[in-house]
Every structure is written in C-alpha cells, then in structure tokens.
Structure 1
Amino acid sequence: MAGPRPVHRVLEVGCGHGVLLSLLAARLTSGTVVGLDRSATMTAAAAARNADAVAAGRVVLRTAPLLTADLDGEAFDLVVAVHVGVFWRPPADELGVVRRVLGPGGRFLLVDQPLRPRQADEAADRVAALAAPHGLVVSAVRTGDTPPRPSIAVELRPRAAPGGTTTPGTTGGPCAG
C-alpha cells in the first residue's frame, strides 16, 4: 500500500530506529525520504542504520515533533506514520500539518495494530472523523492478520472539491490546492 515511486519525496513521522526508512529508501532512485522523530536517540539510531542512504542523500533525518518541525515549503508525495498515537486520538492537530505538506496527488498512510481483533472499523471511523476538519478523507482501509494483533492501514487523501480539485490545507501552505 505504501509503494513509493523511485522519484517520490516521502516523509515518515515517528521514524524510530529507521527500519521503515531503510525499506522506503531502497525503493528510491532520485527521490528522498525524510525521517522525523521527536527523540534524538531514535534519529541517531535511524542515522546509524541508514548511514549509506544518508550519505547518498536518499535519507534525511530531523529531530522534532511534527507540530514544530520546519517543513514549510516542502511537499511530499507520501507521508507515513506507523504506531504514532497522536493521529488516532483527539485533537490530532498533526493531521493539519500532514495536509499542508502533502503535494498534489499526495497521500497519507497511517498504520497501527488495534488492541482488540474487531477494533479496525472503529479505528477507521475515528480517524475519518479526526481528519475531516483538516481537509483529509479516508480513501482506503486495509486490515491484516499480523500477530500478535491484527493491523490496520488507513490511507487518507486531501478532500476533493467540486470540480475534482483538492481543497487547500486548513491552515494554508505551499502544498495547498
């Protein structure tokens, strides 16, 4: 479902040790993946794990919470967050930042493992309600049997305005429109 193209610009929110960064960077040729984590310990671990990709310029790491990260002027084709709780519970203001940095045709992939086996529908509905005020809509939901708990992947895209264009980000920005 993530499947970035070789030229895509990707943002991973909450990159942790950099495992997903490695997988994403391996698919890129001229694109880049930015790994963002609020923990300097995690971005250092991600830098060590991805040292060759960092040296080649395919991986860039930043230490900051998403709400205060300096992402102005950047546009991403894909934003990914795995097990990042702020997107699943109110107020989820980070969704506004995601909307602002999504480029034309961009998408946001949100992945988690619900605590109960049948919690996926509830989780997708909750994300849809949190995302709507930020101009994002659920475009796909996939679940998987991933022990020890089932997993869910929710894909969000900018809401289409009448006439087929996407709505601007709720707080403006370079990627609006």
Structure 2
Amino acid sequence: MKGLKIQDLISSGVYATVYFFVVFLATLILRFTIPTLNSLLIPGLSALLSGVVYLMVINRVPKFGAITIVGSIMAIFFLIFGYFPLAFVPSLLFPLLGDWVQTKTNINEKVRVYLSYTLFSFGLTGPILPLWFMKEAYIDSLLSRGKDMTYINSVFEPISTVSFFVSMGLTILFSIIGLMIGQKIYNKHFAKKSNQV
C-alpha cells in the first residue's frame, strides 16, 4: 500500500482528466444560466457533480498522493492559461490537505471522507479568492492582460461579503450533497458488492 506505483499514477491521471471535464461542464452550465455569478459558483457546482469521481479515486487508488494529483490538474490549468498568478496555490494546497485527511488520519471513516472531499472541493476557489482578498493586485493583473475598466467592473460587480459567504457556504453544502449522490452512483455501478461505501 505504500507509495504510488506506475498503475496508480496512470489511474490518478485518468481520474484527473475526468475531473477536469466535470469542472468544464459545470463552468459551461453556469456560464449559460447564471452569467453574472458563474465564477463564484463553479466550486460549488463542481463539488455537486464530482462526488462519484472522488469516490473512485479514494477506493481505486487508496494511497497518499492520488487526491493531490487529481486536484493538481486544475492548478496546472490555472497556471498555464493566464489566471491570477496565485490561483494555482489553493488547487495544490486544498487537495493536499484533503489527501492528508483521507489517508493519514484515523478519524471516523464517514467524517473523514466528507471532510477530505470538502477540502478537495475548495481547490477550485483559487481563481476567485483574490477577488475578495487581493482586489488591487487582481485589477493590476487584469489591466496587464489588456482588460478595460468596463470588463473589470463587471468582474467585481458581484463581489461582496454576502457573495463570499454564499460561495463558500455552497461549496461546503454541495460537497456534502455531491458526495451523498456520488455514493449512490458509486455503490450501484462501480463498487464491488463486498466493498460498498
């Protein structure tokens, strides 16, 4: 069980790819349904849709490092495609914390899975946290990328204390609901009868 082997790395890479497309799907859904708030709700909706992917990771590759690899796919994306320079940090940090909770702690199994998944889901907050906590640096970053003030004002229009708590609260709530839904799907279609979650 110690250390990721080649097959584990391959499996983690496959799940990372699936997770990336789930996040992409969530982004598309929000962009066409709630364009004003779409970026703030991506972590929550992604958490709602990704529960079964997470369960496949922790059951098929139950070793430290797998969860981090899956979350890191988004860190790489944020780093390469010109997001705010620090956007990739939460996408590394939160999956790593979730990985540690899931594989290195001895707390109650159900609590451990829900807590680790919630931490993992916060990995997608990287692009939006600077909107509240690093506003001036974020504006400078947008200006350096050629964005005008009309665009910048539209980005910051929904940013408030209320929207922060709504975004973070929905990420927690949808992580719980998403994992509950994911458990039903996983147990029905993917789990061995003797190893259901």
TM-score (norm 1): 0.30
Which structure shows the bigger proportion of residues in helix conformation?
A: 2
Larger Rg: 2
Which structure shows the bigger proportion of residues in strand conformation?
A: 1
